[in-house]
Structure 1
Amino acid sequence: MGAGRDDLPPVQHEEMRVKKKIVMAAALAATASMVAPATAVAQDDELDFLLEDAAPRSSSPRPSPTPTPAAEPQAAAQGEQGGAERAQPAPQSTATPQPSQAAEAEPPLDVIPLPREDGPPIETQPAPRGRAIEEIVVTAQRREESLQDVAISMTVFDQEQLSDANITNSADLAIYTPGLTSNARFGNENATFTIRGFTQDLRTTASVATYFAEVVAPRGQSSQSSGDGAGPGTLFDLQNVQVLKGPQGTLFGRNTTGGAILLVPQRPKDEFEGYVEATGGNFEQRQIQAVVNVPLSESLRIRLGVEDKQREGHLNNVTGIGADKLGDVNYTAVRASLLWDLSDNIENYTILQYVDSDSNGYTTRLFACNNLIGTDGISEPSPFALVTAPQCQRQLDAQEASGRNGYYDLASTVRTPITLIEEKRFINTLTWHLSDDVALKNILAYTHLLTKNGSNIFGTYFQDPTDPSREFSAGASVVNPKIPVTNQESYIAEVQLQGSSFSDRMIWQTGLYYETSKPDGPSGNIAASFLYCDLGSLESGDPSTYNCNDPFAGQLGGVLVQEFETEYLNQAVYAQATWDFNDYFNMTAGLRYTWDETEGYGVKRRYAYLLTVQQAPVVTVSTPRTESDAPTGMIEFQYKPFLGTMTYVKYTRGYRQGSVNLAADAGVDTHEPEKVDTYEIGAKTQFGGPVPGRFNISAFYNDFTDMQLQFGYISRAGGPTTSIANAGKAEIKGFEADAFLQPFESLTAILSYSYLDTELLEQDQEAQCDRIRNVGLIEGFTCTPIAAVGDNLPFAPRHSAVGSLIWTLPFPASLGTINIGTTYVYTGDMRVAASSESPFAVLPSFELWNLNLNWSDIFTLPLDLDVYATNITDKQYMTYVGGTYNVIGIESRAMGQPRMIGARLKYRFGAQGG
């Protein structure tokens, strides 16, 4: 007779134990195993292999949380095969397999390495079968971990991927990240982010926070036109970019509901190395990038980098007024970082960065006129719309007759169009390892942001029949030599304490956060609306020189000069811990309590005209103030049913602070916090074998309440403006999936997909519009929301996907390594305005194709050549419309970039030169 169960040898005991765990986890892992057939076969092959060779579980103590540098590559490889080592990978990681680099001399101290498990331990490591893929190391939880161990849906780009796709600003980044979109109403340099439908409306705080070296981006003045902090000059010499989707309720400083974007710069290293890179392309693109890393001593290392880029604009101004080309690029960025080992357990890391971007800016293109406005009940008639619609049609007819009516041909009448961004950052991080298990980190930062903007907002050119030097402005801002759009400085301090306890079963961190942002002088703008003006006369900033004519006899139009000052104060205390119940199951819980204050001071001077006679200015002063406090947090459960697979379920509370809106009338110039409850379930799998790869999937549901919604209206005191109200309730649900496969050693396939189902369930439009009527709405005009009940949320396409194939050509090593890659991008239909306000409120879907050729180590020399082409089919697509068709009688659009072609030559020296 066969042996009884108790007589089974240890290996068979282990086999039965693993099989039992697989059955118990089948329900949770079902979605994770629904991969392509080749992937499923590879995973089955790996499991059979582990069952055949598994040995009894080890009772030996766990290794030190910080391995020696020589052990790091081996530990990473073992992690891919499900090994037991809890070693920390090297700080540099890539999202696609790359040739191995020299190991770091020491792991970084500023990102505190703490032990994490990749799965149940096995005493003996079986001999590798098939191939393994490189591990991606992320810092999404303020410590180094494998991407596959983090219960956050996220997308990671390394520097090579950013360069191959020619990603240099936030709008570029959004195109290649499913679930992430951008609002580029003020141009690509000033785009704001939206993740999973959490949108930042004009004059609200960011719904997605951008962090550079763990420090949040500089604030813009009421976020008018200053972007979210991933502008020109920030996306070079990086370790990676991490896009975290969904509210990060505990660990990150500034409160947001949509997520966070982490920019991780390269740190100074122990070896002399660097590179010089030159790029040229169409639209007269010229770019130089240079980095040098110098070890000044055994304890002191410095890294210097510079990037300079110019590119001609792709938008053609047909008026002959001001610049002929808009949408250009012209910036210089300089970065210096210093790493100083004060002792064996104390490290000081300092970063200085300066960015200067000075371009012609961006203007939308007029493309539709509501010639039926006020007839057949299509829209309520208004004096302004009845004037603009006929003039709009005359402009479009004249432009077509001139032969300059291409997709990128538009009208700008600002004499000095400009988008100026000057940004300064100082970051100092002190890390002190108090013991082997506990570390203290202190972050101090100073940021300063100065921006100027001058543009024709709607792209109109309606000439005054009595004076051709004047044009009817539906809305144009001009450069004010005295008042920038943003002039804000911020001071940030954060203290963190991180550690592990109970023989590494608990990993924890706690901290205090403080941020204050104050004006470094007034900010604001000069804008002309609803009257004929020579916009050049407004640029002097001297009202006595304004040359304007109001056809409405001072009842509607005017020149508005605004000066603002806003102060922000954000404070928080937080704690988060992960408890390992056993090798398969753990729980993480975190809590953060935040206190926020915002205080503003604004002065508006409106100059009205009786025909050409300027009237005395009407001056209004506002001093709004808001304060709020709220808890946020998360609870998460992870289960690892078998090697290479992690499943999770989590709940997160997100919160976005209220703020002030100095552009609105007193009485509707403040708004309260919004909050979201997020429920998410997901799985992450990683497998070796003949077809190694990763497959990650997550599904989520968001209950969004007290939603901050934008309402546009025409103010008696200031012309066209917006107010923000907590007037909405929305539902956001969907799922995201990412796959990475290497069917052959020379072929890599990457696919990311996002599905979003969003709906505005409730909106208290009438109550908010009543408040606006009571304080400043001009008679005969309506109050228009950004979305109507039943609409999808703005900037939340239902479908978005990115797919890439990378093929390494079979050439001998003496020639170098040649990779050819292609990327496909799909962005589905996307609402950007309320359905009730414009028939063009939904942007049509678009597809983009990119190509890239990379030849590295040319003839074994330290030379790399990249040739790239983005949007190779020269697809014409829209990225924004104003939603003014029914109210103003016109519609304007922003347009995506045409085909861009370039070549990049890189020379590496020192340790990088090999």
Structure 2
Amino acid sequence: MRYGNGPLKLGTLALGVLLASNLTAAQQTQTEGSEPRRATVLEEVTVTAQRKQENAQDVAISMTVFSQEQIANANMANSNDIATYTPSMTTNTRFGPENATFSIRGFTRSLRTTASVGVYLAEVIAPRGQTSQTSGDGAGPGTLFDLANVQVLKGPQGTLFGRNTTGGSILLTPQQPTQEFEGYLEASAGNYSSQRLQGVINLPITDNLAIRAGIDANERNGHLNNIAKVGGDELGNVNYVAGRFSVLWDITDNVSNYTLITASDSDTNGYTSRLFACNNQPSEFFTVAIGLFTNAGCNQQLENQAANGQDGYYDIVSTVPDAISVIEEKRFINTTTWQVNENLTFKNIFAYAHLLTENGSDVFGTDFPEITYNLLGPVVDLLPLDLITDAIADPDREFGVGLSIAHPDYPVTDQSTWVEEIQLQGVSFDSRLEWQAGLYYEESLPEGPSGNISAGTISCDFETLTGDPSQYNCFDISAGQLGSVLLNDFRTEYKNQAIYAQGSYDFSESITLTAGLRYTRDETQARGKKIRYAYVGTIQQAPTVQISKPRQVSEAPTGVLEVQYRPIPDAVMLYAKYSRGYRQGSVNPAADPGVDVFDQEEVDTYEVGAKTQFGGPIPGRFNIAVFDNDFTDMQLQTGYISSGAAQTVAIFNAGSSKITGVEADLSLQLTSSLLANISYSYLDTELLEQDENSQKIQDAAGGIAGFSATPIADVGDELPFAPDQSVVASLLYQIPVPAKYGLVDFSTTYVYTGQQRAGASSGSPFSMLDAFELWNFNLSWAGVMGTNLDFSAFLTNAFDEEYETYVSATFNVLGFDSRMSGMPKMYGARLRWNF
């Protein structure tokens, strides 16, 4: 933020609203005994939603735009934070908010599918991850600083951002170097011992060369209290360092080169779910059998959590010896732009990225006693021979339902991604036609093996699983039919190629027709190696090795056809559009051969909308979009327990789904000092058709796998992670103080997220996440006492709302349910020195 004689930008919390990303000085008012002070008006919002700079009101896309000030004031630090303040968008936080995956308008990423929402930094797609767990394809730690803005584009972007954007795209636009020497140093502190330091410097080197560098270091204690005291007392902490360096070189008057280098390193204790329900009355044979293993331990754990007497709702159990979540990411992006002539521009984008992740977590957050104690109870202690007792029962062992343990020799993800894109942009026919065309190539290759150690439905001393397999200390009463320790080694390769073109033709000042077409070919192949160690009692059996080499090729045309009508130029724009989106088919080496390949999904979207702005005594803007989607072959997951692949998921293509909805944004300047914003979303979704896939799983992996098959949604269910209604509303008030003392504003934001499905109705009575409400407050003082200092204080989730973001929905198959909790109340303050 900057205070002086030039344009003045005010930090706001008008989150989730397109219409008021920034405010600017435009009017003069006079208060008694003060100097003239500036009033606020709405400023034009510039976006790059169509790969060129445009006024957001001229773009026929429903979108939400955040400025860097909004991101800072809301204390955003990861992908999940963006979704909290964006109606129509949620995240799946199964592996924690740092690895959250986006869902827009009900288009969801399941475990081990590719992303349905493309995330772009400086026009380049985020690096891919591997397939054993969700990783990559998002906005990781350290991404959300020193940005020009974040743009959330809703609905399929089938031409210009064509890879796997059935749900939409998220554009992260970094601040580019300028010809002004400037920068800032910022320090923040808050509860949970939060400490954050940022620094950015912009340095002109010559008249045609400038550099910009920044660093962001963020550390906070965890809010999840691990009552097991194993592998860390606190989970959910923050600990990352991120750096960014960019160079803008105007080589000639017509040729410029922009280079961006980023690096981030996050090392935390990760997250785990919280056990909250036990199935004490199982009805099906399989659930009864599993209940023998889990029921007594489940109820005992609930008693322990209730008796702990500390944080209560945020008490969790993690018994992974080394609870860890590591995300290391490096990117190099080079963009060369050549203005060939006044009607033609050539652009070349080359990028390289490397992603490394490690993970050790208890997926369900359980601490169940060893199965021997569950079934035999005190009889074990009466056995006459200590040797027999030790062989049958070991107090160091516990019954693990699903644990992910970091492999000692390689990470969960070790993947490099290369991108090359050539683009032409031009104008023709006396500038009535604006067009662009391009070629796209992307290749993502493993740098080595990726995977983890998983232990499921088996009793083990988990500390032994990171060493020599011959020394594993495990016990399986099912004689290897249910339980096992699995060592995963996956190597997945992706190749994506596309050609595209799009043009907009002005038939008159009022009517514009836009048409775009993209043809994409995607190829995925993997090598999966699963080494399974089974036990008959405590006796380890000879390991079995399952090797698979799945391969999938998918291709499809996508695009857009759109008509814009402007009955009142610069005030009202109406549009109607048809767009097609597609998400590639892919492979899933973590599943058993026979169910380790799935096909592409496609969506046809029909949308009408209006974007308006008006003056009068209460000026403002109002935007609305109504859409209907014909969604076929949707990729949805089904979990099961396999003798060859342990606890895993297979991806199947559902027949068809319904998604209809409305999105609306309103911004009003109520007075010269008071700005109001509200953004609303309504979604009506339903899974209309889906094959019964338990037989396919049984054929591939055996009877137990078929019995345990649990889909994420049933026919007639709402689609996962698609809240029926969501609202983001805010008020910004500029406090009347003399201008010589600076500029003070206070804002409040209200967030409502309606009910949303996280699992199939047949899987659990708790498969729907309850609606929740959040209140945030922010106080900003720019130019403190006429100096270059800015001060702000923030309070998020002010009333400490307890809400869930994920539920396992395993109540009817594993005999219990676990859920992931949202963030508690956070507060803090920051001080920034601008220079």
TM-score normalised per structure 1: 0.85
Give deviations 1:177-219, integer Å, cap 9, x for gaps.
Answer: 0001001110010000000000000000000010000000000
Counterpart residue number, 1:771: 696
Q: Aligned runs of 1:188-337 on 2, under 5 Å?
A: 188-222=97-131, 224-337=133-246
Partner of residue 799 from structure 1, selected from 725, 729, 738: 725
Is 1:462 matched up with 2:361?
no
Name the aligned partner's letter for residue 517 of structure 1.
S
**Aligned-residue CA RMSD in angstroms?**
1.7
Is 1:888 matched up with 2:797?
no
Counterpart residue number, 1:79: none
Counterpart residue number, 1:52: none
Q: Aligned runs of 1:584-733 on 2, under 5 Å?
A: 584-643=510-569, 644-733=571-660
In structure 2, relative to structure 1, the CA distance for the partners of 1:380 and 1:277 (3 Å cut) is same
8 Å Cα contact 1:834/1:841 also seen in 2: yes
Q: Which has the larger radius of gyration?
A: 1
Cα separation, 2, equivalents of 1:511 and 1:752: 35
8 Å Cα contact 1:195/1:208 also seen in 2: yes
Counterpart residue number, 1:490: 417
Cα separation, 1, equivalents of 2:201 and 2:287: 63
Q: Aligned runs of 1:364-403 on 2, under 5 Å?
A: 364-374=273-283, 380-403=286-309
Q: Aligned runs of 1:519-534 on 2, under 5 Å?
A: 519-534=446-461
Cα separation, 2, equivalents of 1:612 and 1:826: 52
8 Å Cα contact 1:191/1:227 also seen in 2: no
Counterpart residue number, 2:682: 755
Give the CA deviation at 1:404. Answer: 4.8
Give the CA deviation at 1:383. Answer: 2.6
Name the aligned partner's letter for residue 461 of structure 1.
D
Name the aligned partner's letter for residue 290 of structure 1.
G
Helix, strand or coil for the counterpart of 2:823? coil
Give deviations 1:107-159, integer Å, cap 9, x for gaps.
Answer: xxxxxxxxxxxxxxxxxxxxxxx985210000000000000000000000000
Cα separation, 2, equivalents of 1:844 and 1:761: 23
8 Å Cα contact 1:131/1:688 also seen in 2: no
Give the CA deviation at 1:740. Answer: 1.1
Give the CA deviation at 1:342. Answer: 0.5
Counterpart residue number, 2:81: 172
Counterpart residue number, 1:537: 464
Helix, strand or coil for the counterpart of 2:806? strand
Helix, strand or coil for the counterpart of 1:186? coil
Helix, strand or coil for the counterpart of 1:413? coil
Is 1:360 matched up with 2:269?
yes
Name the aligned partner's letter for residue 771 of structure 1.
K
Partner of residue 411 from structure 1, selected from 317, 342, 347: 317
Name the aligned partner's letter for residue 704 of structure 1.
F
Give the CA deviation at 1:547. Answer: 1.4
Give the CA deviation at 1:903. Answer: 0.1
8 Å Cα contact 1:865/1:903 also seen in 2: yes
Partner of residue 337 from structure 2, selected from 431, 454, 465: 431
Counterpart residue number, 1:784: 710
Counterpart residue number, 1:452: 358
In structure 2, relative to structure 1, the CA distance for the partners of 1:223 and 1:814 (3 Å cut) is farther
Cα separation, 2, equivalents of 1:398 and 1:235: 39
8 Å Cα contact 1:131/1:692 also seen in 2: no
Counterpart residue number, 1:84: none
Give deviations 1:865-910, integer Å, cap 9, x for gaps.
Answer: 010000000010011000110010010000001000000100000x
Cα separation, 2, equivalents of 1:530 and 1:734: 42
Helix, strand or coil for the counterpart of 1:756? strand
Name the aligned partner's letter for residue 94 of structure 2.
R
8 Å Cα contact 1:826/1:847 also seen in 2: yes
Give the CA deviation at 1:624. Answer: 0.3
8 Å Cα contact 1:190/1:228 also seen in 2: no
Cα separation, 2, equivalents of 1:493 and 1:686: 39
Q: Aligned runs of 1:130-149 on 2, under 5 Å?
A: 133-149=42-58
8 Å Cα contact 2:588/2:650 also seen in 1: yes
8 Å Cα contact 1:363/1:459 also seen in 2: yes
Partner of residue 479 from structure 1, selected from 406, 417, 428: 406
Give the CA deviation at 1:405. Answer: 7.0
8 Å Cα contact 2:62/2:625 also seen in 1: yes
Gaps of at least 5 residues in structure 1 are: 1-71, 74-92, 101-129, 910-914
Name the aligned partner's letter for residue 292 of structure 1.
I
8 Å Cα contact 1:714/1:778 also seen in 2: no
The percent identity for this pair of structures is 58
Give the CA deviation at 1:403. Answer: 3.3
Give the CA deviation at 1:719. Answer: 1.6
Cα separation, 2, equivalents of 1:692 and 1:291: 36
Name the aligned partner's letter for residue 852 of structure 1.
N
Helix, strand or coil for the counterpart of 2:164? coil
Name the aligned partner's letter for residue 202 of structure 2.
N
Helix, strand or coil for the counterpart of 2:326? strand
Give the CA deviation at 1:467. Answer: 1.9
8 Å Cα contact 1:131/1:689 also seen in 2: no
Cα separation, 1, equivalents of 2:327 and 2:248: 28
Give the CA deviation at 1:539. Answer: 2.2
Cα separation, 1, equivalents of 2:157 and 2:782: 38
Cα separation, 2, equivalents of 1:808 and 1:405: 38
Name the aligned partner's letter for residue 383 of structure 1.
A
In structure 2, relative to structure 1, the CA distance for the partners of 1:272 and 1:793 (3 Å cut) is same
8 Å Cα contact 1:850/1:870 also seen in 2: yes
8 Å Cα contact 1:713/1:777 also seen in 2: no
Cα separation, 2, equivalents of 1:268 and 1:260: 25
Give the CA deviation at 1:692. Answer: 1.7
8 Å Cα contact 2:665/2:677 also seen in 1: yes
Cα separation, 1, equivalents of 2:634 and 2:216: 40
Give the CA deviation at 1:402. Answer: 4.1
Q: Higher mean Cα deviation, 192-201 or 217-226?
A: 217-226
Name the aligned partner's letter for residue 770 of structure 1.
Q
8 Å Cα contact 2:162/2:518 also seen in 1: no
Q: Higher mean Cα deviation, 403-412 or 816-825?
A: 403-412
Name the aligned partner's letter for residue 793 of structure 1.
L
Give the CA deviation at 1:386. Answer: 2.7
Name the aligned partner's letter for residue 600 of structure 1.
A
Give the CA deviation at 1:249. Answer: 0.8
Give the CA deviation at 1:815. Answer: 0.9
Give the CA deviation at 1:628. Answer: 1.3
Helix, strand or coil for the counterpart of 1:886? coil
Q: Aligned runs of 1:11-26 on 2, under 5 Å?
A: none
Give the CA deviation at 1:381. Answer: 3.6
Counterpart residue number, 1:842: 768
8 Å Cα contact 1:94/1:158 also seen in 2: no
8 Å Cα contact 1:863/1:907 also seen in 2: yes
Give deviations 1:621-644, integer Å, cap 9, x for gaps.
Answer: 000000011100110000000131
Give the CA deviation at 1:762. Answer: 0.6
Q: Aligned runs of 1:30-41 on 2, under 5 Å?
A: none
Give deviations 1:642-678, integer Å, cap 9, x for gaps.
Answer: 1311000000011000000011100110001000000
Helix, strand or coil for the counterpart of 1:880? strand
Name the aligned partner's letter for residue 844 of structure 1.
D
Give deviations 1:711-736, integer Å, cap 9, x for gaps.
Answer: 11111212211101112310100110
Cα separation, 1, equivalents of 2:545 and 2:514: 54
